[in-house]
Amino acid sequence: MKILFVFAHPEQRSLTGALRDVAIKELEAQGHEVRLTDLYADGWKSEVDRADFPLLRPEERLKPVTASHDAYAQDALTGDVKAEIEKLLWADALILHFPLWWFAMPAILKGWVDRVFAYGLAYGVGEHSEKRWGDRYGEGTFAGKRAMLIVTAGGWAEHYAPRGVNGPIDDLLFPINHGILYYPGYDVLPPFVVYRADKLDEAGFAPIAEDLRERMRSFATIAPIAYRRQNGGDYLIPSMQLRPEIGDPGATGFALHVDEGKPASRTLISAVG
């Protein structure tokens, strides 16, 4: 497979940096072709602003959605964004690798998504009708491609368990896995999470690195998270509510959007430091 690996850590000698090297080496050993976007090393500009839309006239009000649509349609996005889009279209798969900062991705990576996932590429794709609501959530530009997160976290695994005080890790990562990756069509693999990362010593690195290598060996074959397809019949159109007969009537929350009946895994493969 051709894999775009997006790395977001300010320090090359970090644990995250060491795990990146392990992952890429193993992927290449498996015959995959990997291209790396190293956001801090590249000096990636994270904020969306007028400079992103060179065709916008000074007197024009900036409407980010419209500006993104027009710039993408006219091939007038900035060179850094166009280069990332070219890599995304080249790749069969996308890996986002970052430390968990305030229960989310570092701002520089969020800014990569904000700027690169343009209107017409990652959203605003497909037609609305009585039978479908555009191409999103399992359909879209990246349908048929795989995506996955590699995350390090300071907190304990127990604190991210279903009843843990931090909230379940599946829920915390849902906005990224479902909202950013599944939305434009990717099949999203269960994430690889390292817990208690700050407490790790050199002796603890080897087993985690081996877990990650093992995970990279199954990257092309492991079942994705069984998110429900928007246009697959589980949701009412146009309200996009899950049909009342699906799931427990009183149930709410992110887990409802995973089809437990599908032959797919949502199990986290985690290394606990």
Cβ proximity to ligand FAD: between 207 and 253 the closer is: 207
Residue 211, Cβ density class (10 Å: 0-12 exposed, 13-18 middle, ≥19 buried) = middle
Q: Is 109 in the site for ligand FAD (CB under 6 A)?
A: no
Q: Is 12 in the site for ligand FAD (CB under 6 A)?
A: no
Residues 53 to 92 in contact with ligand FAD, rule: CB under 6 A:
none
Q: What is the nearest approach in angstroms of ligand FAD to the Cβ of residue 69?
A: 33
Residues 151 to 180 in contact with ligand FAD, rule: CB under 6 A:
152-155
Residue selected from 130, 202, 245, 248 as contacting ligand FAD according to rule CB under 6 A: 202
If binding means CB under 6 A, how many residues of this protein chain bind ligand FAD? 20
Q: Is 21 in the site for ligand FAD (CB under 6 A)?
A: no
Q: Is 216 in the site for ligand FAD (CB under 6 A)?
A: no
Q: What is the nearest approach in angstroms of ligand FAD to the Cβ of residue 164?
A: 11
List of residues contacting ligand FAD (CB under 6 A):
9, 14-16, 18, 99-103, 152-155, 197-198, 200-202, 205
